[in-house]
Amino acid sequence: MEPARLSPVPNRPLLILRVEDGPPVLLLSDLHLGLGTTSGQSAGPPGASAAEMAVGLCESARAAGASRIVLLGDVKHPIVGTPRPLRPVVFDFFSTLLGDGYPVDIVLGNHDVGLAKYLPKEVEVHGAGGAVVGGVGLFHGHRWPTDKVLASGALVAGHLHPGVRLAPSADSSSGKQRCWLRVEFPEPEAPPKRRRARSALAAREMVVLPAFNPLAGTEALNRGRPKLSRSFLFHRFVGRGRTRAYLLDGTDLGELATAPAGGPPEGRERSPPGR
């Protein structure tokens, strides 16, 4: 896969996928609508409100010349159910994108239980096993993707909320900053005969998206392994290759140490419960 086909939008947690037969597609993950809401602020706090994020996303799509927007899971923040005040917020968010002329696809994440019934009917929903767009396999990252996704030459996922902890700054008192991960996989090897019931990973490259919502939690991957709820993606995909981290402004942070330390035993591909 040519790296130029997947390129980040500078200073935005958005990825451009250039397809051969049409305009580019805009990818993002971990919207977490409803995060930080209160009874008097059901659309979310300033800077992460549903309305602001929708308008900003449309502006970015327009600037990129995108023809379509694909969200790779965790559209809403509540894991189980969609609280009544959040339902019109979800509907209005996608109505804004559709009204601006952007078809929308969603690959379901672990927070998206019961989401579909509150979406405009024009939104196309894909299961947690993922989807293939322009020859690239897209999935959230909390469950093992389908054979079709695994057969793609490149993969894109979310879920991990990748970041790093640097020195505190005016923008981040904790020093945590969101980042991109680009993983280069080694040449695929045929699995042992006893494990061939599951398709082998064919991709040579993977991109893990930073969380789109600026209030979403961030895993400081330069300080330790991710929490158990996100370790599936880390151990089964990120840890299988050479991984470089990049800040949203494009700063190359170098290679991360991702070799699993005492990870799940081989052959156990189940995703963990919870987040």
Give tens-digit pLDDT for 143-180: 999 999 999 999 999 999 999 988 776 666 567 899 99
Half-sphere exposure of 141 (CA within 13 A, CB side): 31
Number of helices followed by number of strands (H, E) in the chain = 4, 15
Q: Could you give the residue ranges of the DSSP H alpha helices within the chain?
A: 50-64, 86-99, 147-150, 231-236
pLDDT digits (tens, 9 = 90+) for 204-228: 999 999 999 999 988 889 887 777 7
CA nearest neighbour of 34 among 70, 75, 67, 73: 75
pLDDT digits (tens, 9 = 90+) for 86-95: 999 999 999 9
Q: What is the pTM for the complete model shown?
A: 0.86
Please check whether residue 240 is in contact with residue 201, taking contact to mean a CB–CB distance below 8 angstroms. Answer: yes
Residue 244, pLDDT > 50, answer yes
**Lowest model confidence (mean pLDDT) among 39-43, 81-85, 162-166, 235-239:** 39-43
Looking at the chain, how many residues does it have?
275
pLDDT digits (tens, 9 = 90+) for 95-140: 999 999 999 999 999 999 999 999 999 999 999 999 999 999 999 9
Q: Percent of the chain beyond pLDDT 90?
A: 63
Residue 34, pLDDT > 60, answer yes
Residue 17, pLDDT > 90, answer yes
Q: Residue 105: what pLDDT?
A: 98
Confidence band of 20 (pLDDT split at 50, 70, 90)? confident
DSSP 11-36: TSS-EEE--TTSS-EEEE----BTTT
Please check whether residue 202 is in contact with residue 153, taking contact to mean a CB–CB distance below 8 angstroms. Answer: yes
